[in-house]
């Protein structure tokens, strides 16, 4: 499918439209996929508010904030890459690489954070430990924390693979492809924008 | 050259991007799963032929109905019409050469097979006893069976559904032939389109909900488990948010099939085309608002129950619109009682009975009496089996000559349609009475007073089984020996009939240009 357009489309524009539309639908399903996790979180905030606040204060807000910055920057380089690719510029290649690198940095920081949490017995399961008053609610909080950030990390990994793929085989990636990859990347970013305050900032004010 | 002749090797089939061939891949695998699920049903009815629980243990019975339910819902009902008939027909009906994403389409078959194998794997290694609904906290805490493996299978099947749904939506939006406006789409395409929207909106929620159950089961922390601070009602809300609309995933395509068959064999334009299309959309939309009627006795608030009850009644309105319009289409038509038409009539009749008894269940007070009795079993079999399976078989017969280029023996096909209808009613009508008298579901033994009706039901199941097996025989025969069908044996309208049977690889020699609506039958007075 490198040369020409797929047989079922009447024009390249139609093909690009279909791809873009398909990705938007896919992203809608992704939002819904996170839906039950958000529902569970809302439930927990309503019924176990104190424990959730206490547990949230235990997250590593420094890494979380740093990661938010890293991810926002990567969205910026990704947008630049799409823009540059449309103009035909070779610079797009470097920007794609930078995006992938920032994505990897995010994952690395996240890995540190997970490791620390593992050592502090914050991973739900047999050896979970937390101050007795809030232990039960905090465990649910951390269960959601790992589910949400875990699913997010999986999505980011897929994104990194796609972006690296385009950077390496740059000639195969036309402007439409890069734009669609960008759409996906911004989506993963946007999910994080919700996760960050939900998981790191609750109960920290005042 | 026809699409069937594009290569004869197994490899040419397993790597095809042609929507018609992928439809046949789905047809074969879905049929196999249907008969596996049917075998489980046969065991259950055999057990229930006598009041004593003597054939299988209670535990085995639990595993049987779970296997039956899981297979029938996720491996048969959800994918059957969309992935077999929809795959084959949607591109042809809108004058396209293929679906928008052919590789995604093939991938969705592989993903479906992977999900099917996971589910079968769970069955072979001992089965599951939670029922197809996986209610927590039983599924997370107590069940001693292969819950996680089954959940993984259902999750994967959901991914396949989403892929197909996405593909259909994009295809209908972007690949319609010149002149094919929205209100010239055949109602079957409308139905698949609406179904795809439900697939795309509801399935992800199911996926994540099942994942939560699996994680909770493995790690032992509570989102759903009340002992750990969780809430099992949350599970039920999330589960039924998918699973009620899932009923319309099974039913809307069936309605689409009936709307193609009935005008053709009545030789009339479909009555009130636009209302039929609007009704499809209305049913799909309302389907998202009624899930709470599965939870009347769960302890949700009384206000929630009242609202859900009222909303459930609303669904009856567009459904009735459809039934009346099919009837009006038949009125003064020049009717041929061909096999597809018999199936379509069976569909309308059984759907009507199932739908009306659904109103009984949507009525709060009655439901408290009927919940978890055989009344519910009868109701959902009327809707899902009477509705979907009837229409699926009707559709298979209707488009068989198009797909294979051959005719089947009409007489045998009519016999099988009648057998299915009679066997079906004999099996499931007694269950309404049983349920009304209070026989609970999901038990492998029952008090002797229920014996007579249960014996009727089991005998009916035997008749039904013959009705289902018969087409396997004569359709296979038709593949090998059947007479040539010609391009349009039913003199039907619709773009798919304007191309040779079987169609060439790219469906049409030249892209058709559409100048009229889909049901321009010369026919009787309108
Ligand atoms: C061939 C005739 C069939 C017979 C005799 C039959 C019989 C049964 C029986 C005895 C049950 C268990 C009732 C209970 O104790 O809860 C059941 C449940 C069920 N059946 Fe069927 N069935 C048949 C066909 C089908 C078909 C074709 C489908 C779908 C395509 C289907 C879908 C279901 C579902 C979803 C359940 C619920 C399972 C559960 O309770 O977990 N059945 N059926
Ligand atoms: Cu329902």
**Opening angle at CA B126, ends B26 and B160, nearest 5:** 25
pLDDT in tens, B502-517: 999 999 988 899 998 8
pLDDT in tens, B354-398: 999 999 999 988 998 999 999 999 999 999 999 999 999 999 999
Comparing B373 with B299, which gets the higher pLDDT?
B373
How many other C-beta atoms lie within 10 A of the C-beta of residue A3? Answer: 4
Q: Does B91 touch chain A (CB under 8 A)?
A: yes
Three-state DSSP state, B373: strand
pLDDT at B5 over 70: yes
> Which of B59, B60, B65 for a ligand 1 pocket mutation test, highest count of atoms within 8 Å of Cβ?
B65
Atom of ligand 1 nearest to the CA of B427: 5
- Dihedral of CA atoms A184, A186, A188, A189 in degrees, nearest 10, equals 170
What distance in Å separates the CA atoms of residue B173 and residue A178, rounded to the nearest whole number? 23
- Least confident segment among A106-110, A193-197, B35-39, B142-146: B142-146
Atom of ligand 1 nearest to the CA of B70: 35
Q: Percent of chain B beyond pLDDT 70?
A: 99
| Contact call for B212 and A124, based on CB within 8 A | no
pLDDT at position A1, please? 39
Kindly state the average pLDDT of the residues B404-413. Answer: 96
Q: Write the residue in B200, B205, B223 that is nearest to A25 by C-beta.
A: B200
CA-to-CA separations, B493 to B4, B151, B417, B499, in angstroms, rounded: 23, 43, 24, 11
- Dihedral of CA atoms B498, B502, B507, B508 in degrees, nearest 10, equals -40
Q: Which ligand is nearest to the CA of B292?
A: 2
The answer, yes or no, to whether any atom of ligand 1 lies below 6 A from the CB of B68, is: yes
The answer, yes or no, to whether any atom of ligand 1 lies below 6 A from the CB of B66, is: yes
Kindly state the average pLDDT of the residues A108-129. Answer: 89
pLDDT at position A137, please? 86
- Dihedral of CA atoms B380, B384, B387, B388 in degrees, nearest 10, equals 180
Rounded to the nearest angstrom, the minimum Cα separation between B463 and chain A is 42
DSSP result, B229-295: T--HHHHHHHHHHHHHHHHHHHHHHHHHHHHHHHHHHHTSPPTTHHHHHHHHHHHHHHGGG-GGGG-
pLDDT in tens, A66-107: 999 999 999 999 999 999 988 888 888 899 999 999 999 999
Residues of chain A found within 8 Å of residue B220, distances taken between Cβ atoms:
124-126
* Separation of CA B360 and ligand 1 centre (Å): 20
pLDDT at B405 over 80: yes
Kindly state the average pLDDT of the residues B239-251. Answer: 94
Name beta bridge partners: A115.
none
Torsions phi, psi for B521 (to 5 deg): -80, 140
Scan for tokens 């045998």, then name that residue: B412
Q: Which ligand is nearest to the CA of B242?
A: 2
pLDDT at position A90, please? 81
pLDDT at position B523, please? 61
Mean pLDDT score of chain A: 89
DSSP result, B88-147: HHHHHHTT-SS-S-HHHHHHHHHHHHHHHHHHHHHHHTT---STTTT-TTIIIII--S-H
Comparing A3 with B303, which gets the higher pLDDT?
B303
* Separation of CA B290 and ligand 2 centre (Å): 6
Kindly state the average pLDDT of the residues B472-490. Answer: 95
* Separation of CA B159 and ligand 1 centre (Å): 24
* Separation of CA B248 and ligand 1 centre (Å): 18
Three-state DSSP state, B333: coil
Q: Does A34 touch chain B (CB under 8 A)?
A: yes
What distance in Å separates the CA atoms of residue B114 and residue B157, rounded to the nearest whole number? 8
The two structure tokens encoding residue B277: 């299309």
pLDDT at A2 over 70: no
pLDDT at position B150, please? 96
What distance in Å separates the CA atoms of residue B245 and residue B233, rounded to the nearest whole number? 18
- Locate the chain A residue with the closest alpha carbon to B231: A43
ipTM of the complex: 0.85
- Give yes or no for a contact between B348 and B258, defined as CB atoms under 8 angstroms apart: yes
Scan for tokens 């099996």, then name that residue: B427
Kindly state the average pLDDT of the residues B317-323. Answer: 95
- Least confident segment among A134-138, B97-101, B491-495: A134-138
What distance in Å separates the CA atoms of residue B54 and residue B230, rounded to the nearest whole number? 39
What distance in Å separates the CA atoms of residue A29 and residue A156, rounded to the nearest whole number? 16
Kindly state the average pLDDT of the residues B453-478. Answer: 97
Q: Write the residue in B98, B99, B229 that is nearest to A137 by C-beta.
A: B229
| Contact call for A21 and B205, based on CB within 8 A | no
Atom of ligand 1 nearest to the CA of B468: 1
* Separation of CA B121 and ligand 1 centre (Å): 20
Scan for tokens 């199936």, then name that residue: B343
What distance in Å separates the CA atoms of residue B75 and residue B117, rounded to the nearest whole number? 10
The answer, yes or no, to whether any atom of ligand 1 lies below 6 A from the CB of B132, is: yes
Q: Write the residue in B169, B209, B228 that is nearest to A25 by C-beta.
A: B169
pLDDT at B256 over 60: yes
- Long-range contacts, B141-145 (Cβ 8 Å, 24+): B141/B217, B141/B225, B141/B227, B145/B63
Confidence class for position A4, pLDDT limits 50, 70, 90: low
Confidence class for position A3, pLDDT limits 50, 70, 90: very low
Is the bond preceding B137 in cis, omega lying within 30 degrees of 0? yes
Kindly state the average pLDDT of the residues B261-285. Answer: 95
CA-to-CA separations, B266 to A89, B329, B347, B431, in angstroms, rounded: 62, 7, 16, 34
pLDDT at B126 over 70: yes
Three-state DSSP state, B334: coil
The two structure tokens encoding residue B91: 């591109």
pLDDT at position B305, please? 93
Scan for tokens 């020699």, then name that residue: B509
Element of type H or E holding B210: helix B187-219
pLDDT at B249 over 80: yes
Q: Please report how many Cα atoms fall inside a 13 Å half-sphere around the Cα of residue B167, on the Cβ side.
A: 26
Q: Percent of chain B beyond pLDDT 90?
A: 87
Q: Write the residue in B162, B231, B234 that is nearest to A29 by C-beta.
A: B162
The answer, yes or no, to whether any atom of ligand 1 lies below 6 A from the CB of B381, is: yes
**Opening angle at CA B123, ends B122 and B127, nearest 5:** 90
What distance in Å separates the CA atoms of residue B75 and residue B39, rounded to the nearest whole number? 14
Three-state DSSP state, B2: strand
- DSSP-assigned letter for residue B350: H
- Least confident segment among A1-15, A39-53, B88-102: A1-15
HEC per residue, chain A? CCCCCCCCCCCHHHHHHHHHHHHHHHHHHHHHHHHHHHHHHHHHHHHCHHHHHHHHHCCCHHHHHHHHHHHHHHHHHHHHHHHHHHCCCCHHHHHHHHHHHHHHHHHHHHHHHHHHHHHCCCCCCCCCCCCHHHHHHHHHHHHHHHHHHHHHHHHHHHHHHHHHHHHHCHHHCCHHHHHHHHHHHHHHHHHHHHHHHHHHHCCCCC
- Give yes or no for a contact between B247 and B287, defined as CB atoms under 8 angstroms apart: yes
Rounded to the nearest angstrom, the minimum Cα separation between A12 and chain B is 12
pLDDT at position B474, please? 97
| Contact call for B201 and A139, based on CB within 8 A | no
CA-to-CA separations, B123 to B37, B63, B129, in angstroms, rounded: 11, 8, 10
* Separation of CA B412 and ligand 1 centre (Å): 26
Q: Does B205 touch chain A (CB under 8 A)?
A: yes
* Separation of CA B295 and ligand 2 centre (Å): 9
What distance in Å separates the CA atoms of residue A19 and residue A31, rounded to the nearest whole number? 19
Residues of chain A found within 8 Å of residue B211, distances taken between Cβ atoms:
147
pLDDT at B272 over 60: yes
pLDDT at position A206, please? 55
A contact test, residue of B136, B223, B226 with most A CBs within 10 A: B223
Element of type H or E holding B162: helix B147-174
Show which of residues 218-237 on chain B sit within 8 Å of chain A, judged by CB atoms.
Answer: 219-223, 228-231, 234
- Dihedral of CA atoms B253, B256, B262, B264 in degrees, nearest 10, equals -120
Torsions phi, psi for A126 (to 5 deg): -55, -45
Confidence class for position B226, pLDDT limits 50, 70, 90: confident
Nearest to B411 by CA among B346, B462, B461, B337: B337
Nearest CA to ligand 1 atom 38: B69
Q: Which ligand is nearest to the CA of B246?
A: 2
- Give yes or no for a contact between B420 and B346, defined as CB atoms under 8 angstroms apart: yes
What distance in Å separates the CA atoms of residue B204 and residue A34, rounded to the nearest whole number? 8
- Least confident segment among A116-130, B260-274, B480-494: A116-130
DSSP result, B468-499: HHHHHHHHHHHHHHPPB--S-TT---SGGGGS
The two structure tokens encoding residue A125: 């399961």
pLDDT at position A8, please? 84
Kindly state the average pLDDT of the residues B94-111. Answer: 96
Q: Which ligand is nearest to the CA of B80?
A: 1
The answer, yes or no, to whether any atom of ligand 1 lies below 6 A from the CB of B75, is: no
HEC per residue, B436-453? HHCCECCCCCCCHHHHHH
What distance in Å separates the CA atoms of residue B68 and residue B44, rounded to the nearest whole number? 9
């Amino acid at each position: 499918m490198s040369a020409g357009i797929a047989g079922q489309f009447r024009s390249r524009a139609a093909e690009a439209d279909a791809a873009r539309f398909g990705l938007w639908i896919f992203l809608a399903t992704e939002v819904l996929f996170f839906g039950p996790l958000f529902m569970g979180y809302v439930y927990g905030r309503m019924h176990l508010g104190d424990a959730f606040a206490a547990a949230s204060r235990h997250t590593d807000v420094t890494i979380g904030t740093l990661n938010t910055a890293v991810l926002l920057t990567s969205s910026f380089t990704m947008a630049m890459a799409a823009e540059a690719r449309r103009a035909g510029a070779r610079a797009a290649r470097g920007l794609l690489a930078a995006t992938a690198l920032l994505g990897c940095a995010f994952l690395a920081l996240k890995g540190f954070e997970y490791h620390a949490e593992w050592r502090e017995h914050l991973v739900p399961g047999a050896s979970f430990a937390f101050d007795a008053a809030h232990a039960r609610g905090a465990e649910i909080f951390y269960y959601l924390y790992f589910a949400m950030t875990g699913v997010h990390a999986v999505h980011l990994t897929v994104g990194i693979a796609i972006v690296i793929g385009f950077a390496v085989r740059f000639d195969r990636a036309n402007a439409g492809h890069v734009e669609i990859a960008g759409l996906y990347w911004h989506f993963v970013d946007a999910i994080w924008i919700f996760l960050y305050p939900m998981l790191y900032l609750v109960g920290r004010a005042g | 050259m026809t699409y069937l002749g594009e290569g004869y090797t197994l490899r040419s089939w397993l790597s095809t991007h042609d929507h018609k061939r992928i439809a046949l891949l789905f047809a074969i695998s879905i049929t196999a799963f249907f008969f596996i699920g049917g075998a489980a049903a046969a065991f259950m009815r055999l057990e229930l032929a006598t009041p004593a629980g003597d054939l299988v243990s209670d535990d085995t019975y639990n595993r049987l109905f779970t296997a039956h339910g899981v297979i029938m819902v996720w491996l048969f009902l959800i994918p059957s019409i969309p992935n077999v008939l929809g795959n084959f027909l949607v591109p042809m009906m809108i004058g396209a050469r293929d679906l928008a994403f052919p590789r995604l389409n093939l991938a969705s078959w592989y993903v479906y097979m992977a999900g099917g194998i996971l589910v079968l794997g769970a069955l072979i290694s001992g089965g599951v006893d939670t029922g197809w609904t996986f209610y927590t906290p039983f599924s997370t805490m107590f069940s001693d069976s292969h819950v996680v493996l089954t959940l993984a299978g259902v999750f994967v099947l959901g991914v396949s559904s989403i892929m197909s749904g996405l593909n259909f939506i994009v295809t209908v939006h972007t690949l319609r032939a010149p002149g094919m406006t929205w209100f010239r789409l055949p109602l079957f395409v409308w139905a698949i389109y609406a179904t795809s929207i439900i697939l795309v909106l509801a399935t992800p929620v199911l996926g994540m909900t099942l994942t939560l159950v699996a994680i909770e089961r493995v790690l032992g922390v509570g989102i759903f488990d009340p002992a750990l601070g969780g809430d099992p009602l949350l599970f039920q809300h999330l589960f039924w948010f998918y699973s009620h609309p899932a009923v319309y995933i099974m039913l809307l395509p069936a309605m689409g099939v009936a709307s193609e068959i009935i005008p053709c064999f009545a030789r009339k334009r479909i009555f009130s085309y636009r209302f039929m299309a609007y009704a499809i959309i209305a049913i799909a939309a309302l389907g998202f608002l009624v899930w709470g009627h599965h939870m009347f006795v769960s302890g949700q608030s009384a206000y929630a129950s009242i609202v859900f009850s009222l909303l459930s009644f609303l669904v009856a309105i567009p459904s009735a619109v459809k039934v009346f319009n099919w009837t009006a289409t038949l009125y003064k038509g020049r009717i041929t009682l061909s096999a597809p038409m018999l199936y379509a009539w069976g569909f309308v009749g059984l759907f009507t009975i199932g739908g009306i008894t659904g109103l009984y269940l949507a009525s709060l007070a009655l439901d408290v009496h009927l919940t978890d009795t055989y009344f519910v079993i009868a109701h959902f079999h009327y809707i899902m089996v009477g509705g979907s399976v009837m229409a699926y078989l009707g559709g298979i017969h209707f488009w068989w000559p198009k797909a294979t280029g051959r005719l089947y023996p009409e007489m045998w096909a009519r016999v099988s349609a009648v057998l299915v209808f009679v066997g079906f009613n004999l099996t499931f009508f007694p269950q309404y009475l049983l349920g009304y008298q209070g026989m609970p579901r999901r038990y492998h033994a029952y008090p002797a007073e229920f014996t007579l009706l249960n014996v009727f039901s089991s005998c009916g199941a035997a008749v039904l089984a013959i009705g289902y097996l018969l087409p396997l025989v004569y359709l296979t025969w038709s593949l090998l020996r059947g007479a040539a069908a010609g391009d349009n044996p039913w003199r039907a309208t619709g773009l798919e009939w304007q191309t040779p049977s079987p169609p060439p690889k790219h469906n049409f020699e030249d892209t058709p240009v559409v100048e009229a609506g889909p049901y321009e039958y010369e026919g009787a007075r309108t």
